[in-house]
Structure 1
Amino acid sequence: MTQQERTTIATNQAPGAIGPYSQAVQYGNLLFTSGQLGMDASGQFAKAVEEQAKHSLLNVKAILEAAGFGMEHIVKTTVFLKDMNDFQAVNEVYASFFAEPYPARSAVEVARLPKDGLVEIEVVAIKA
């Protein structure tokens, strides 16, 4: 893959990368986002897991829009949770962002998330 075939996506409508990675990378009609924590564009975390899930998905949406994609283009999501007991609360927020046909999804509990977040979501999107 050459550098011309791959495009880095960045927007100030979502928190900037906190390490050596991109908010998203587009390769042809595919878009891969990095995990988005539940913070606003200024880097402030919401307190409750539901608000963190909402911010995480709003960040995903902002990155998609910066690349000319929409939530309807998402084909796969991965949800990382600090506590699987929060699954139902996060699932309710998640459901408000998607319509059928729903993307494929994995949800996993992890020992720790960056900056001690409660939820992180990454997606893969495709535009035909």
Structure 2
Amino acid sequence: MSDASSWPFSLVRRAGGLVFLSGEVPVADDGSIPEGITAQTDLVFKHISETLAGEGLSLDDVVSCMVHLADKADFAEYNAAYRRHFKDPLPVRTTVQAQMIADVRLEVTVVAAARI
């Protein structure tokens, strides 16, 4: 992956007690992309978990998810994989079908509530 310092956006921002993460795509550290929506979903949430941990947070702190799926046929399998990563109360979520700019099946953006 390229050096994050060269990207024209912030990876994480805090504002008003919330932590906003930029969209995460399923690209491994070696640049590879796993096959299938389940493996890609798991990798995305692994990356999101690691970013949140760097902010002293976890997936339990996520209050909102915005999900972009490349193919609506992946929705059921994605939904099953997504559910394994969250406990109740579940975050609010919006899921849309979108054309991806990379050769991936999804991108996920989250907002977490910062711990006081």
TM-score between the two structures when normalised by the length of structure 1:
0.81
User: What is the number of equivalent residue pairs in this alignment?
Assistant: 114
Q: Which segment is superposed worse, 26-35 or 89-98?
A: 26-35
Q: Which amino acid in the other structure matches residue 112 of structure 2? A: A
- Contact 1:17/1:23 (<8 A) preserved: no
Q: Which residue of 2 aligns with 1:42?
A: 30
Q: Do structure 1's residue 120 and structure 2's residue 97 form an aligned pair?
A: no
The amino acid across from 2:13 in the alignment is V
Specify which of 11, 15, 22 is matched with residue 23 of structure 1.
11
Structure 1 residues 77, 31: closer, same or farther in 2, change over 3 A?
same
Query: Which stretch shows the higher mean deviation, 86-95 or 28-37?
Result: 28-37
1:47-126 pair list within 5 angstroms: 47-110=35-98, 112-126=99-113
The share of aligned pairs that are identical, in percent, is 26
Moved more, 44-53 or 96-105: 44-53
Secondary structure (helix, strand or coil) at the match of 1:115 reads: coil
Question: What residue number does 1:8 align with?
Answer: none
Query: What is the TM-score when the length of structure 2 is the normalising length?
Result: 0.88
Q: Can you give the 5+ residue segments of structure 1 that lack an aligned partner in the other structure?
A: 1-14
Aligned Cα root-mean-square deviation (Å): 2.0
Would you say the 8 A contact 1:75–1:103 is kept in 2?
A: yes
Q: Any idea what SS the aligned residue of 1:122 has?
A: strand
The letter for the 2-side match of 1:36 is E
Question: Secondary structure of the equivalent of 2:102?
Answer: helix
Query: Could you list the runs of 5+ residues in structure 2 that have no partner in the other structure?
Result: none
